[in-house]
Chains A and B, each alone.
Chain A
Amino acid sequence: MTVGTGAGVEGLVRAVAPALAAATAAAAALRAAASRVDGEAAAVRAEVGRLRAADAGGWRSRAALAYRARLGDLVARASRDAGALDDLAAALRGHAAGVEGRAEALRAAAAGAAELVVRAVEEGDDLAPRLLARAEAVLADASRSAPSWTAARW
């Protein structure tokens, strides 16, 4: 193993650390947004109740029937909106989980690369090129979805 290659791998591992921190923060922001969306969904559900109350119950005519049919559509639509907000919150949480999963993959890849470097040192220089190539492949795979984070490292 050359000193240059080892330093490159170490640099790579160091570069992953802030990326991991940023990913953790992004996941937290996504979960916070999901909670806000939960609140908005609850607010929309409250508006659904107010919509139902706007039926002008004393009004009796064919036009009133048409109005109430449209109001019923609006109630159903607002209920769907609340459900869509639930879906949005779930999507945000899924996104947060995805970000966390990718961060975990980066962390694992960095740890794996460091381990390969250590093994290369232990096994001797003959194995170093193969092990280093493996380490680069692991990191490259891990960072495929986050090129901006890892572009500077090679």
Chain B
Amino acid sequence: MVSSGAGRGVGPGAGGATGPGGDLLTEVLGPGRSAGGGLAVRGGAGGLVADGREMGAAADALRRVGLSLGERAAEVGLVVARTGLTGAPALDPAGAAAVARALAAAVGAGGAAGTAAACGELAARLALAGAAYEEAERVAQRVVAGVRDGVARAAGGALGALVRRPEVVLPAGAVVLVAVSGASLTWVVVRGGGLLGDLGDRAVGALADGRVDAAERTALVAGTTDLPGELEVLARADAGGAARALAAEASLLAAQHPQLLQHVVAAAPALAGAALPLRAGGTDRGAVWAGGDRGAVWTGGDRGAVSSGGRRGGGASTGGRGAVALPGGDRWAWPPRDVADLAAAVAVVGTQDGALRPTRVDVRAAGPAVPVAPARGTADLLARARPMAGGGALSPGGRATSRAPVHVERVVDAAGARRWVVVLPPTQTTAAPWARATTNPADLGTDVRAVGQVPTAATRAAVTAMQRAGVRPGEPVLLVGYSQGGLTAVQLAADPALRERVTVDAVLTAGAPVGGFDLPPDVAVLSLEHEEDWIASLDGGANPATPAWSTVVRDLPPGATAPAPGEAPDGMAGHGLDHYGETADLVDASDDASLVAWRERAAPYLAAEGTTASAQLFLAERRPVG
């Protein structure tokens, strides 16, 4: 199956491609199909999904129809020709002429015989297109896997160099994972960025240009093979200083190479598993998971039972690796299969909530529900997160406040039907994820836990806020989230236990690394991402491109992220909510099929004649327990 979520990449000139190959290169390898206004769209109602087997089956059916029509035409011609032997034309020449004309029309080149030939031709084209998709997908997977493997092995080598340094103290697994992995990845980005970027650009560029012949493929594979050695040379050269802090520079580099960062993040589980032979999950740590499903986020507003679901590829075999369910919805799977496993492992020992540092969340209303104007579009929906992102009336004290806001808005249409818009907060504090320096549930620990797809204080806060606001089962809910808010929104939507109580109908995310989640097909999702926003790359993969999930990738205009005169460059500029607001404006104006379908889905939550809305703000605060 080819889908337009197979890679987050850029390809010069890809936007103008047409035909099956053009579709593939534009939507799969490129940022998405051009939707005008600088937007590229993947997935959704207008997205690319191609299943070579289905196309092959359709081509076969088409071919059979063509053969059958040809046989029908021949049979009819024979039957009618036989009537000429009876002498009937001599008796009724005019009738015979009419039959001849009708025969030509029915089975001639303009009739069934021509249709049969056209069916055969179209069948051949379809079969070729299906084969092209399959082959292109294989090539893309091979090249991407090669690049990723090269990154993993190279970074693993660098990591090994760090770990072997005698002065490096390894106090705890979490710190090791965070610090060493982070330093390694930072080093790879900073020092190996040029090599990796060149190779990645070459691979993606070649694919996007359609230049993938055997020689090019061999060259790309050779490049990925040689990459680890080249990086190891750099690592040796940097042995004395590889661990030095390069975070600010890394942020800028990440913003310049979001595509590369995504591969680096995707490679992180492999390098962590290879470089850190930590103890695998075992029966002495709790119940062993046969399938390795993620824990659900629904806990009924308090810590409680855990159910499964939510991850992409959930239920797959662990391949002999242990996966252990821990208290509080935590889990431990080592070596990690993917970014979610790695983040979940970090979360076990490195964050509040979960197994080691359980907390509860207190949620209280900041005031009564007040009438508000219903949102007028996607941009208006996203604008409801603005007070949470930059400080303001909705979030007293701004982003560093000790309490996380949750905005719950009841929308009642002219017929009296109730719907809800729930706006979830972005990261509110940059306190260390394991520290109790803040009581704000929307902290970095929640970021790590959300990527790990384990319950978070933010999800519990959201559920409690919805309950307090009066959201009833069966009443449709549109979840809106910027940055961490988007993660929380998707995490809630992915939880089957939550969906039994809350009808999550649609999700709008902006700048959120949500590609690791698997959502049910009845939940409509629109994800906004910027090429320059490396935060969105932290999931290590592209968002699923399904008929229900559309991702808009926007390449911000030159200068949009440039620093003001005299100011230092800001690696987070592409993540800014203001830019996402502009992107949402473009979405509202776009005629792309996926975005039109999104607007239709969101319409019942928006302003219309007779529709009213009231909003209530809730504030969530974390309390340690135990």
Interface residues of A (CB under 8 A from B): 22-23, 25-27, 29-30, 33, 36-37, 40, 43-44, 47, 50-51, 53-64, 66-67, 70-71, 74, 77-78, 80-81, 84-85, 87-88, 90-92, 94-99, 101-103, 145-149
**B80 and A37 contacting across the interface, CB-CB below 8 Å:** yes
In angstroms, Cα B95 to Cα A27, docked, is: 11
Are A43 and B72 neighbours in the complex by a CB distance under 8 Å?
A: yes
Q: In the complex, what residues of B have CB within 8 A of residue A58's CB?
A: 49-51, 54
Partner of A59, one of B50, B80, B96: B50
Say whether B105 contacts A29, CB under 8 Å. Answer: no
Q: For residue B416, which residues in chain A have a CB less than 8 angstroms away from its CB?
A: none
Q: How far is the CA of A55 from the CA of B65 in the complex (A)?
A: 13
Q: How far is the CB of A77 from chain B (nearest CB, A)?
A: 5
Indicate whether B99 reaches chain A with its CB closer than 8 angstroms.
yes
Q: Say yes or no: A91-B98 contact (C-beta < 8 A), given A51-B119, A81-B112, A102-B91.
A: yes
Question: Quick check: is B111 within 8 A (CB to CB) of the other chain?
Answer: yes
Q: Which residues 45-60 of B sit at the A interface, judged by CB distance below 8 A?
A: 46-51, 54-55, 57-59
Instruction: Report which of B57, B93, B99, B107 forms a contact with A145, defined as CB distance below 8 A.
Output: B93
User: Hey, which chain A residues are within 8 Å of B579, CB to CB?
Assistant: none
Expressed in whole angstroms, the minimum distance between the Cβ of B419 and any Cβ of chain A is 28
Contact B65 A84 (CB under 8 A): no
Chain B, interface size category, equals 35 or more
Decide if the interface of chain A is mainly helix, strand, loop or mixed: helix
| A70 and B48 alpha carbons, distance in the complex (Å) | 18
Interface residues of B in 108-138 (CB under 8 A from A): 111-112, 114-115, 118-119, 122, 125-126, 129
Q: Contacts of B102 on A, CB cut-off 8 Å?
A: 84, 87-88, 90-92
B122 touches A40 (CB 8 A): no
Q: Which 4 A-B pairs have the closest CB atoms?
A: A98-B92, A95-B95, A98-B95, A84-B106
Given contacts A47-B69, A54-B58, contact A88 B96 (CB under 8 A): no
Q: Across the two chains, which residue of chain B brings its CB closest to A23? A: B91
Extra inter-chain contacts (10) besides given A54-B65, A99-B91, CB under 8 Å: A47-B69, A57-B54, A58-B51, A61-B27, A61-B47, A62-B22, A64-B50, A87-B106, A95-B88, A95-B95
What separation, in Å, do the CA atoms of A59 and B90 have in the docked complex?
A: 55
B317 at the interface (CB under 8 A from A): no
**Bound CA span A37–B80, Å:** 9
Q: Are B106 and A67 in contact (CB under 8 A)?
A: no
The reply to whether A55 and B111 contact each other, CB–CB distance below 8 Å, is: no
A26 pairs with B87, CB closer than 8 A: yes
A-B contact pairs, 19 of them (CB 8 A): A23-B88, A33-B80, A36-B76, A44-B112, A56-B126, A61-B24, A61-B49, A62-B23, A63-B19, A64-B50, A71-B122, A91-B103, A92-B80, A95-B88, A96-B88, A98-B94, A145-B92, A146-B91, A147-B90
Q: B141 at interface (Cβ–Cβ under 8 A)?
A: no
A54 engages B61 (CB within 8 Å):
yes
Option from A33, A43, A146 in Cβ contact (under 8 Å) with B79: A33
- The residue from B72, B92, B101 contacting A99, defined by CB atoms under 8 A apart: B92
- B249-298 at interface with A (beta carbon < 8 Å): none
Interfacial chain B residues near A30, Cβ < 8 Å: 83, 86, 88
A26 close to B122 (CB less than 8 A)? no
Complex alpha-carbon distance, A70 and B121, angstroms: 11
Chain A residues with CB under 8 Å of B65's CB are 47, 50-51, 54, 78
In whole angstroms, what is the CA distance A73 to B373 when docked? 48
With contacts A30-B83, A95-B98, A145-B92 known, is A85 near B76, CB below 8 A?
Answer: yes
Question: By DSSP majority rule, is chain B's interface helix, strand, loop, or mixed?
Answer: helix
B560 to chain A, nearest CB (A): 29
A77 and B115 form a contact (CB under 8 A): yes
Chain B residues with Cβ below 8 Å from A147 are: 90
B585 to chain A, nearest CB (A): 25
In the complex with contacts A61-B20, A62-B23, A26-B83 CB distance below 8 A: yes
In the complex formed, the residue of A with least CB distance to B119 is A74
- What are the residues of chain A within 8 A of B22 when measuring CB–CB? 62-63
- Find chain B residues with CB under 8 A from A97 CB: 95
Chain B residue nearest to A76 in the complex (CB): B115
- Using Cβ atoms and an 8 Å threshold, which residues of chain B touch A47? 65, 68-69, 72
Q: Which one of A50, A74, A147 has the highest number of Cβ atoms from chain B below 10 Å of its Cβ?
A: A74
Which residues of A sit under 8 angstroms from B105, Cβ to Cβ?
Answer: 84, 87-88
Of B88, B93, B111, B112, which one neighbours A29 at CB under 8 angstroms? Answer: B88
With beta carbons under 8 angstroms apart, the residue of B75, B86, B119 that contacts A26 is: B86
Chain A residue, CB-CB nearest to B90: A146
Report Cα–Cα, A46/B525, bound state, in Å: 39
CB contacts (< 8 Å) of B126 on chain A: these are 56, 67
Q: How far is the CB of B473 from chain A (nearest CB, A)?
A: 32
Determine if A59 and B99 form an interchain contact, defined as CB atoms under 8 angstroms apart: no
Please pick, from A44, A55, A66, A84, the residue contacting B69 in the complex, using a CB distance under 8 A: A44
Contact between A67 and B122 (Cβ–Cβ < 8 Å)? yes
State whether the Cβ of B499 lies closer than 8 Å to any Cβ in chain A.
no
Are B98 and A43 in touch, CB under 8 angstroms?
A: no
Given contacts A47-B68, A58-B51, contact A26 B115 (CB under 8 A): no
Contact between A50 and B64, CB atoms less than 8 A apart: yes
Residue pair B90, A95 in contact (C-beta under 8 Å)? no
In the assembly, what is the distance between CA of A37 and CA of B103, in Å? Answer: 10
Interface membership of B244, Cβ < 8 A: no
Instruction: List CB contacts (< 8 Å) of B4-57 with chain A.
Output: 18-20, 22-24, 27, 33, 46-51, 54-55, 57
